Structure 1
C-alpha cells in the first residue's frame, strides 16, 4: 500500500488564491499528483447579489429568461481564462463597448487580468452586444459567460 504525501504548503497557497480572487475552486496537476481546493460558501455569496438585483420594477419577468441560462445562448461569449474583468481600459476611460452597440468580430469588448497581465477579450463574431453578464472588478472562471452578442 503506497502512502500519499500531502503538500500542505501548496494547499494553503491555493486556498489563499481562492480567498484573494473570490473563486470557488482551483486545481493544479503535476506529473502524478493533483490538488483541488474548493469551497461552497462562496457560491452562496455570489448568488446573493444576483438575487438582490433581480427584484426591480417592470420587466423583470421579461429579462429573467435571457439571463436565466446564458450558457445555452448561441451568442454567449465565454471567458477563456480565470481572472478579473475590466470593461474599460482604465478607470477614467469610457468602456470598450456598451450594451446595444454593434461590435465587429475581433473588436476588444473587455479585459481580463490574470497574473498581472491584461488580456484583451475580443468579440468572436459581429453583431449587437445585447448584454454584459459581468461587471468591472468581478472575478470570473474559465468558460463563465461574459456577454451575449446576437
Structure 2
C-alpha cells in the first residue's frame, strides 16, 4: 500500500484543485488505468438576504376603492385559462431597454415563441416567450414592477 501512496501524482491533484477554483466547480474526477482521483470542495454559502417589510401606510379613504378593484381583477385573471403566468420571481420589463418600444401592446397579435417581456432575476435578463400564438387582450403588470412566481402577467386569447 505504501508503494501506491508514493505513486500518486501530487502535481495532478494540485492542478485539479486549481481547475476547481478557476471554474467555480465543486467536484472533479479523473480516472486513468487503475488510478482514480476525485477532488471536491465545499463553497461557503452566501448569507441569506434580509428583507424588510415596509411600514404600514395610513389608509386613505380614497385608496380603498382602488384596492378593491385591483383585488377583484386579480382573481379573474388568475382563473383565466389564457393568462400567461410568471415562470420566476423578479422584475418584469415590457420593453428591451428604458424608453424603447414595448415588446407587446393590447390588441397586438403574437406568435408562439415571440418574446413578450423580460423578467430580471438575480441580475440576469430572462426573455419570456409567448407560450402560444394569439391576440393580447390584457397586460396585467406595469413596466419595472416586481412579479411573483405564478402571477398572471398578461392574457393571450
TM class, shorter-length: 0.5 to 0.7
CA RMSD of aligned residues (A): 3.3
Q: Deviations over 1:30-71 (max 9, x none)?
A: xxxxxxxxx6978xx9xx97953777xxxxxxxx97654211
Q: 107, 112, 116: which one pairs with 1:100?
A: 107
1:1-150 residue pairs with structure 2 within 5 A? Answer: 10=47, 13-15=48-50, 18-19=51-52, 51-52=65-66, 67-150=74-157
Cα distance in structure 1, aligned partners of 2:85 and 2:79: 11
Q: When the two structures are aligned, how many residues end up with a matched partner?
A: 108
Cα distance in structure 2, aligned partners of 1:120 and 1:108: 6
When Rg is computed on C-alpha atoms for both structures, the one with the higher figure is 2
For structure 1, the residue ranges without an aligned partner over 5 or more in a row are 1-8, 20-38, 56-63
For structure 2, the residue ranges without an aligned partner over 5 or more in a row are 1-45
* Residue 142 to residue 65, structure 1, CA distance change in 2 (3 Å): closer
Cα distance in structure 1, aligned partners of 2:114 and 2:75: 26
Q: Deviations over 1:59-109 (max 9, x none)?
A: xxxxx9765421110101010000001000011210001011111111101
Cα distance in structure 2, aligned partners of 1:84 and 1:90: 13
Cα distance in structure 2, aligned partners of 1:66 and 1:126: 24
Structure-1-length-normalised TM-score: 0.60
Structure-2-length-normalised TM-score: 0.57
